[in-house]
Structure 1
Amino acid sequence: MKKVLHFLHLWFGIGSGIIVFILAVTGCIYAFQLEIQDATQSFRFVEPQKKAFLSPSEFRVIAEKALPNKKIHSVQYADNKTAVVITFFNFDPEYYYLMFANPYTGEIQETRNMDSDFFRFILLGHYYLWLPPTIGQPIAASATLIFVFMLISGLVLWWPKNKAALKQRFKVKWNAQWRRKNYDLHNVLGFYSIPIALIIACTGLIMGFQWFSKSVYWATSGGQTMTQFYEPESKGKPVLDKNTPAIDFLWKKTIAENPTAQTIEMHYPETAKSTIAAVTNPIAGTYYKADYIYYDQYSLKPVPVTHNFGRYHDKITLANKIMRMNYDIHIGAIVGLPGKILAFIISFITASLPVTGFIIWWGRRKKSKKPKVKMGVKKEMVKN
């Protein structure tokens, strides 16, 4: 059994190693994206003022004047020290812009084409390996699935035959030769990283494979089928006069109903049938507790949805919570900064495993190619 596992562990590792390395390194870099951006991008912040914020309709006029012929998607408000973030997004033709504006004056502090943003580049590498999504995404997900097998098979191969050998498996022998140290780094670090690495990999698979996501939901919901995300529609009749923008009315309503929300994001209706979405988040930097409320843009009444992205407390079942928490678990944000640090460390170890594993294989390969010395010749060499 171990011989078979060793063979599969070796060749699956060689086949997927470079992809796992890319996924792990990009994961390391992206782990502290928010913290790095806050520390290096001053345009994300403003001086607090004793003034009211501009409304979503006012920001729409300002933003569309600054970036004409682009479709505005949403505007996000935070606290009195943070710039408003206006998003322009479209699939065909594809573009993605973020505009940072002063919430009190509407002054645009920065407009970023996200196609040239460093962290966007890293994220596309992590998701798609910088390939077209239809090609890169299944390759990345398949490599992640192989990595799960590598972790499990690695544990079986690591497991010692007796108690005497067990003591040597938990620590790196730093005073040994470099090949032994490399071997220990691969095995010992791999062993310690298994629990968290499995969690990171499995949460990645939920995002990477629909069949995996549906299977997890089915297993944790007692056999129910997960409802896929869909856009609800507006079907009501106007209740406001033309001088009162519906999105402004709903924005004020959302603020009044969610006084403790750390961010409020209003989504502009894109078509005559679209709803106005209000997203309130009680914990900035995470996503799982956010409330998504869809309003009919004419009647201003909430439009109920059956998928998982509605009100958080309306979808409190175990299966829905797992789906909600999945991304925050994947990046470690579910437990704050300590979780991100842990995710960074495990991702760094994960990136090292294909490297140390390849060195082990290459060293054994070179060793096996050395010419064997016959016994008689060896004796003659000893005499001389």
Structure 2
Amino acid sequence: MSLLGNKARQLSRWLHLWLGLTSGLIVFIVSITGCLYVFQTEIKDALEPWRFVEAQDRAFVPPSQLVDTALVYMPGKTPTGLTYEDETGAAAVGFYYTENDKLDFGVVFMNPYSGEFIRKQEAVLHGSFDFFQFIMKGHRHLWLPEAIGKRVVGIGALIYVVLLITGLIMWWPASWKKKYRERSLRINWKAGFKRLIFDLHSVSGFYILIFVLIIACTGLIWSFKWFENSVYYLASGGEIKAAHTHPHSDVSKAALAVSDSIPAIDRAWYLTLAQNPNPERIYMTPHLAEEDESIEILVFNKKGKFYHHDEYFYDRYTLEPLATEKFVDANAADKLDLMNYDIHTGAILGLPGKILAFIVSLISASLPVTGFLVWFNKRKAQRKLRYSLAGQQGKR
């Protein structure tokens, strides 16, 4: 039995054809770049052994010492981020800065146990070529100007969701008898080229549908605020997503700032470690540009995952805890929101999830190609038939 009536199937076929032809290149680029980016962490770990250190039975040096060392190698720059990895990872201080009217990024890697310099990476965004930065630019905005490209990618992802739905309607067997069921669920590898291409498009598209739909929807959350708010509204049972705000330090208490030799950023780090003695990663902003900025420290609790983290805020003058936002205390909608990146990349399921995301993205990239070939072969056959009929009429 058909999933929908004939008119709906005809409309689906028309939409699938023309939306597919107009968005095929976008879907191909976004899918293949996503596929290539899935294992960027594992590849970098293998190619950049200097990002690791030997575990030692002693504490890490405090943030201020790492910043002081990093500034020796990035003079005149302002540190914008500091990361501690686990016991075998190098610590890193990052610097965003403008040079020759271009935004650039540099990183200084150090041994977290001794504070010794290991390596500096500079001009990652401009100047030197970074393969994964290049891939990510293609994935996010097709190597176009970011404001334009992100919008194009978002519209392409929205069209892709429609293509997945219309594709399911077209795939649905006219009958669930064995003959029709097998044609819809199996690729006939012994068939001719045209039939094989059709099966690769239709059958493989069906098997990845639910997974690629999840990937597309998690991508749409970043592309459109209305989509993000709609998902949150549904997940929360009708609540509006609150804006994420940071608490502020009390400037009136600046005179009360602790004046001993231990910097406030170090004290906040020690306070956070007391509550989280074995974190997988810690991230903080070492430089506070505004007088009322608070010290923010993020603690990541699961290796290779971004969603499971806690945020701690401290008054920069008194070190009074201003707020603590823990993942375990978040409601279901907020947890889903935090999980969005890990769901999108497959990291939510660890290595098996990444392998699945890689395979799904690779097949997804093939769909515009096989879809175009199906259309081209059909168009070629129709043209050949028209010429044949015209020739027969001419002989009469």
Letter in 2 for 1:149: V
In the TM superposition, 1:1-384 aligns within 5 A as 1-90=8-97, 94-113=103-122, 114-115=124-125, 116-162=129-175, 163=177, 164-235=179-250, 237=253, 238-268=256-286, 269-304=288-323, 310-315=325-330, 317-370=331-384, 371-374=386-389
Moved more, 4-13 or 253-262: 253-262
Q: 1:118 to 1:377 in 2, by over 3 A?
A: closer
Moved more, 37-46 or 233-242: 233-242
Q: 1:377 to 1:124 in 2, by over 3 A?
A: closer
Hey, what's the Cα distance between the residues in 2 that align with 1:151 and 1:98?
41
Q: CA deviation at 1:375?
A: 10
Q: CA deviation at 1:376?
A: 9.7
Letter in 1 for 2:172: W
Q: 1:215 to 1:90 in 2, by over 3 A?
A: farther
What is the CA RMSD across the aligned residues, in angstroms? 2.0
Deviation string, structure 1 residues 325-350 (Cα, Å, up to 9, x no partner)? 11111101111000000011100010
Moved more, 334-343 or 72-81: 72-81
Conserved in 1, the CA contact under 8 Å of 2:50 and 2:118? yes
Hey, what's the Cα distance between the residues in 2 that align with 1:223 and 1:79?
39
Conserved in 1, the CA contact under 8 Å of 2:186 and 2:203? yes
Q: CA deviation at 1:51?
A: 4.2
Q: CA deviation at 1:250?
A: 1.2
Q: SS of the counterpart of 1:303?
A: strand
Deviation string, structure 1 residues 175-219 (Cα, Å, up to 9, x no partner)? 111111111000000000011111111111111111100111112
Letter in 2 for 1:281: F
Letter in 1 for 2:321: P
Hey, what's the Cα distance between the residues in 2 that align with 1:198 and 1:314?
29
Q: CA deviation at 1:299?
A: 1.4
Moved more, 112-121 or 176-185: 112-121
Conserved in 1, the CA contact under 8 Å of 2:247 and 2:313? yes
Hey, what's the Cα distance between the residues in 1 that align with 2:351 and 2:233?
31
Hey, what's the Cα distance between the residues in 2 that align with 1:87 and 1:110?
12
Q: TM-score, normalised by structure 1?
A: 0.92
Q: CA deviation at 1:106?
A: 2.4
Number of equivalent positions? 374
Hey, what's the Cα distance between the residues in 1 that align with 2:257 and 2:382?
82
Letter in 2 for 1:100: F
Conserved in 2, the CA contact under 8 Å of 1:73 and 1:270? no
Q: 1:157 to 1:374 in 2, by over 3 A?
A: closer
Q: 1:376 to 1:103 in 2, by over 3 A?
A: closer
Hey, what's the Cα distance between the residues in 2 that align with 1:60 and 1:270?
15
Hey, what's the Cα distance between the residues in 2 that align with 1:299 and 1:37?
40
Unaligned segments of structure 1, at least 5 residues: none
Unaligned segments of structure 2, at least 5 residues: 1-7
Q: CA deviation at 1:304?
A: 3.0
Q: CA deviation at 1:90?
A: 4.9
Q: TM-score, normalised by structure 2?
A: 0.89
Hey, what's the Cα distance between the residues in 2 that align with 1:8 and 1:81?
52
